[in-house]
Structure 1
Amino acid sequence: MVGSGTGAEAPWQGTLPTCLVDAVEETGSRLAPPGTLRVVVQRLRLTERGRPVGVHWQAGAIADVDGNLVPVELTALFDRAGDEDLLDALEVGAQQLLRDLAGQGLEAVDVLRLTRDWRRDPVAHLRWGVEIGPEEIGAVPRPDALYDPALDLRLNAPDLEALQDARRAACCSWTRRLRNWVRDALPWGR
């Protein structure tokens, strides 16, 4: 079923290559807005009539903007001049992971999705049995296999709100500590 994304999906339990983790981290720091709680980077193997014809990278994020959770599309930002090195780093890391998977008998991964939540290590999900053609990348409605930050927010709102609360608490405690340190350090603060 073309673009349906009905194939089997499984989380990757192994260790991700450091270069891939670094590339996902760089994607978030370079492309995502301040206050980002989740960055998702996805590699899709494009096919036509069952044969691979290329690769497409896309990204999205969920950000805390003035207390509101906001889905953010990042894919178009990959096309900016100067971000070829970012795509190259992602592809190098993905190829290393795909080689590791092939060594364990897990070949022909159609979709590799990497999710990096605030202050957590990235998690990889693998998907097989999905056919997405190049013409479906910008299609409306979006094929199920393509990451959609708005859908992610709707489906995972409680988890994202918990991340938002944890981030807010950490920021508040950091600013509180700084304020107290400044107050104690200044002669008129005592």
Structure 2
Amino acid sequence: INNVEDTDKGAYKLIAKNEKGEAVSQIVNLVDIPEPEVNTKPEISQKLTDKKVAEASTFELVVILKQSDKKCKVSWYKGTTIIKETKDITTTFDGKTARLTFSSAKMEYTSTYKVVVSNEIGQDESSCKITVEKVDEKKKQKEEKEKKEKAQKEQEERRKEEEEEKKKIEEEKKVEEQKKIEEQKKVEE
């Protein structure tokens, strides 16, 4: 198999047939495709960018490597302090994309963040400034009020649609009853 890909994983068996009979090979399992040896330092092709995020919102920092290398070590920093995972802060790395995810932005998350991606040959890094902005209480209340009003309006529209549907059904019943009455009159005549 040339140009082997992840989708080529599986069990293979060769069956050769002709008029004289059949020959079956043993099963060959293609289980994992080793990554090509990386002999260069990691290079970040998509760097971190400065962001402003609303308090309590979810946000993430993402970098993408130019070349996949699952053996890379990824370290995230807030200022000069290494970040440890918590229930609110998680990290992932699939060999190409590294993510630092915050489930709920807090004011104390405002800082400079840095990611260092390294292997035996060298390292690359990227940094950005994250600013967590306080959500204005009046704005928050206004948004909540608008949401509530929208929900009430949608509920009212659904109620009207249901009433119209009921009226339509009642009218159809009346038409059916009228037809029955007319048919009965014809039968009686």
User: What TM-score does the superposition give when structure 1 sets the normalisation length?
Assistant: 0.29
User: What TM-score does the superposition give when structure 2 sets the normalisation length?
Assistant: 0.29
Q: Which has the larger radius of gyration?
A: 2
Task: Select the structure with the greater relative contact order (CA < 8 A; seq sep ≥ 6).
Answer: 1
